[in-house]
Structure 1
């Protein structure tokens, strides 16, 4: 019988120097046997919800933290009993995975895991095993597997349930479980209408509006509105994304001297262009919105006004101007405001830019935005028009020089060819860091964006 030893897994730095994370849920219990790279926990950082893969193959001996605990990086969160010759497999360095080759040196020294997202190197393979987001198998009562039609984040190899625990847990995706937690619902009471009984976001939303009050009271849960009957106020701890956003906004507002300018433009020609593009073969199946054209207009205007695409280096007292654009899009999610960005957006033709915007929005709404997607932005857009708002004064995303706000498109009386006509009008709001951008630069940038949206053919005079 081989000897065993106890290995501790400490909360790793999940990227961007984050100092703490909240344990949302454990996917294992004490006594469970786990395989290398099996997802063992779901945690929320200040930027995203991520899954922790197991760095060892062995048996869970102790869970040091409970769901809801905020844990500092470096603190032990779980202990494993492993064979003394098993050791720990190193996780692939981020540089190797980012290069796209996936190659890892065969003689990489053993070390404790320090990065989530790539999984550990399988012993002897010389290659990092990425956790695949694929169709997870459904184990039926008879032991056979049926293909699942809904996407469920899973490890590359889904281990069999231990002692029936995994099979008893309601089947859903991590974002759906987080939504249910936010609404105070027990997923065990929610009927799943997805393939194989998968509980979908719509199932949770439907149930939250029709859940029987006795069931909620039995759970001791708050109503969907957040307050229990008879309570005059509700207190909610500020953690995770909301805590990070609050701190970042305060830092931005009191560090960068904001200036905001407004411009109202007739965008009827842009909407007419969108209607034509939607019928063209090149844009078949691609979602096109005013945000699509506004993003493209911003990218063209940045090329002519590069100061808007810069940052202030306080330590060196330098202005850093970027020769690329990582375009941030402010997104409202159940966990709070996030600003994921499209890397090298200036290099994307309009069809690919439209697809990237759609993918970004869908990923953010599903709660699958990664820390990498949230870092490195150079300039941002916030679309407040979707909430019926005409204009505002956006606060800069920390480290960026400018943010463009899009208001609602309104049908309004407008001067057109010497007469008054009903036209489609929106207001643009531009906030910028006055240390980096003076009034003339900001005004020229905003005028360029407005000119393109008012008459898309003006692009021919700008590029």
Structure 2
């Protein structure tokens, strides 16, 4: 007989509470294997592919694309005994969620954080609009009274497709979409009251009861506007920036630097054998300068621990690099950047940027940074006042490198000039320390030979 199992949304990163379904890679009726990718989700940190924990056949997708669900909520049902053979004894529930590489009960190896069933398997939540169970009908009376024609069976609820407007599709379950269609309610005119902005049955019914409130605006500009729910990376970034801006007292200092010597060194190194296959950018030089300057001013690499009332100094540099991606701003980290050579940093930065643009940065690579660089110069911007990443104490903005007039030995000559901006947490970093760090970074970019003195 069939044996159904439901796969709950796992915690793919420490502290994850919810995720959005991006893409289903399987459909009902598909056969699946253990570790086959079945769905791609978007957490507050990255897009993650989830593998299937069992062999079997997909019987139902419990969550639609675009819907946000909480960790632990079942997202798919799988028949693990489609052949109809007697079900094998259920394995003992795991005492805790498995970790990557950890052996689970039964000898399986976890391939994802949170992999494996939890104690007390989650059950699918009952639908509010599901019909109540009907008791078995009593045996018919012996008298041959003609029975009335049976009422037609209710048609199954089918998901009504909703055409996107400006790239936005309202979030609603199939029964709610069908109800809205039957009642003539425009889902685009409703604001969902459910989790993550999901439109509920009650929202549709209220729109029918109060049509004036639900009617779309008659203003002409409405047809030229589009609304996109705030979720995923954008939601996490916004919250992190608000928390940082209103928690850490920011101070920003600026420095204009003649980086002509750095650019000349870059041109020479690009022809050297060890750099011929390496994308050597000004960002790599800035990253190396930051890791060297941290040695003289470790305060910029420290963390303010409010709960413990301590400043935590870190003898390593996990360098965050702010990267603009189609899904929003992300800040992946280069681990132990202070131990890397210039060539190693250049390779790591290129790999990091490619992975981030493809949306494949793992959640683990987004956490644990100690100091960050944001390269606004790639957009042709001179500088800015960057906001510190939560959990860090400083962030450096690298501006565009431009040909500008510069005084050298009393003569005005054209030089390669760049502006730097350093924002720091004034609870941890005093003005003297922040100024020293920024001056050191500038000196290393203006004269790379200064690195020999560090």
Q: Which has the larger radius of gyration?
A: 2
Distance 1:20 1:92, change over 3 A: closer
Distance 2:434 2:345 in 1: 24
Q: 1:85 aligns with which of 79, 88, 110?
A: 88
Residue by residue, what CA displacement relative to the aligned partner does 1:161-206 show, whole Å, maximum 9, x if unpaired? xxxxxxxxxxxxxxxxxxxx99959xxxxxxxxxxxxxxxxxxxxx
Of 303, 307, 313, 2:305 maps to 313
- Decide whether the 8 Å contact of 1:266 with 1:424 is kept in 2: yes
Taking the aligned partners of 1:395 and 1:246, their CA distance within structure 2 comes to: 11
The correspondence of residues 25-64 of structure 1 with structure 2, limited to 5 A, is: 25-64=23-62
CA distance in 1, matches of 2:247, 2:90: 47
The 3 A distance-change label for structure 1 pair 35 and 86 is: farther
Q: Report Cα offsets for 1:91-137 as digits up to 9, x if no partner.
A: 9954x64xxxxxx55xx42599987379889xxxxxxxxxxxxxxxx
1:109 to 102, 105, 109: 105
- Counterpart of 2:416 (choices 415, 424, 427) is 424
Offset from partner CA, 1:195-218 (integer Å, 9 cap, x none): xxxxxxxxxxxxxxxxxxxxxxxx
Aligned to 1:232: 224
Q: CA deviation at 1:282?
A: 1.4
* Partner SS state of residue 231, structure 1: helix
CA distance in 2 between partners of 1:405 and 1:255 (Å)? 20
CA contact (8 A) 1:25 1:67 kept: yes
Rounded Cα–Cα distance in structure 1 between residues aligned with 2:238 and 2:73? 25
Matched, 1:334 2:332: no
Kept in 2, the 8 Å contact 1:51–1:116? The answer is no
Q: Among 13, 16, 19, which residue is 1:15 paired with?
A: 13
What is the total number of aligned residue pairs between the two structures? 350
- Distance change >3 Å, CA 354–CA 423, structure 1 → 2: same
The reply on whether 1:281 has 2:273 as its aligned counterpart is: yes
2:361 to 363, 369, 377: 369
TM-score (norm 1): 0.71
Q: Residue 379 of structure 1 aligns with which residue?
A: 371
**2:345 corresponding residue in structure 1:** 353
User: Does the 8 Å contact 2:7/2:75 carry over to 1?
Assistant: yes
Whole-angstrom CA distance in 2 between matches of 1:379 and 1:261: 16
**Residue in structure 2 matching 1:75, options 55, 73, 76:** 73
Deviation at 1:277, TM superposition (A): 0.4
> Is this contact kept in 1: 2:318–2:333, CA < 8 A?
yes
The residue correspondences of 1:428-443 to structure 2 (distance < 5 A) are 428-443=420-435
* Residues 95-106 of structure 1 aligned to structure 2 (within 5 Å): 97=101, 104-105=102-103
Does residue 388 (structure 1) correspond to residue 380 (structure 2)? The answer is yes
Once the 2 structures are TM-superposed, how far is the Cα of residue 232 of structure 1 from its aligned partner? Answer: 2.8
Cα distance in 2 for partners of 1:117, 1:18 equals 11
Match of 1:204 in 2: none
Shift of 1:80: 1.3
SS of residue matched to 1:409: strand
The answer as to whether partners of 1:14 and 1:115 remain within 8 angstroms in 2 is no
Query: How many Å apart are 1:234 and its aligned residue?
Result: 1.5
Against the structure 1 CA distance between its residues 114 and 244, is the aligned structure 2 distance closer, same or farther, given a 3 Å change threshold? farther
C-alpha deviation, 1:81, in angstroms: 1.3
SS in 1 for 2:80: strand
Could you tell me which residue of structure 2 aligns to residue 453 of structure 1?
445
Q: Give the superposition deviation at 1:419.
A: 1.0
Match of 2:401 among 385, 397, 409: 409
Counterpart CA distance in 2 for 1:234 and 1:10 is: 33
Q: Cα distance, 1:7 vs. partner?
A: 1.0
Structure 1's 275 and 80: CA in aligned 2 closer, same or farther, altered over 3 A? same
Any stretches of 5+ residues in structure 2 without a counterpart? 82-86, 118-163, 169-219
Is the alpha carbon distance of 1:120 and 1:71 closer, same or farther for their aligned partners in structure 2, counting shifts above 3 Å?
closer
SS at match of 2:245: helix
**Do 1:13 and 1:114's aligned partners in 2 also have CA atoms closer than 8 Å?**
no
Secondary structure of the structure 2 residue equivalent to 1:4 = coil
After TM superposition, the score normalised by the length of structure 2 is: 0.73
Partner of 2:240: 248
**Unaligned ranges ≥5, structure 1:** 98-103, 122-180, 186-227
In 1: Cα distance, 2:66 partner to 2:394 partner? 36
**Aligned Cα RMSD in Å?**
2.7
Partner of 1:271: helix, strand, or coil? helix
The separation in 2 between residues aligned to 1:294 and 1:301, in whole angstroms, is 10
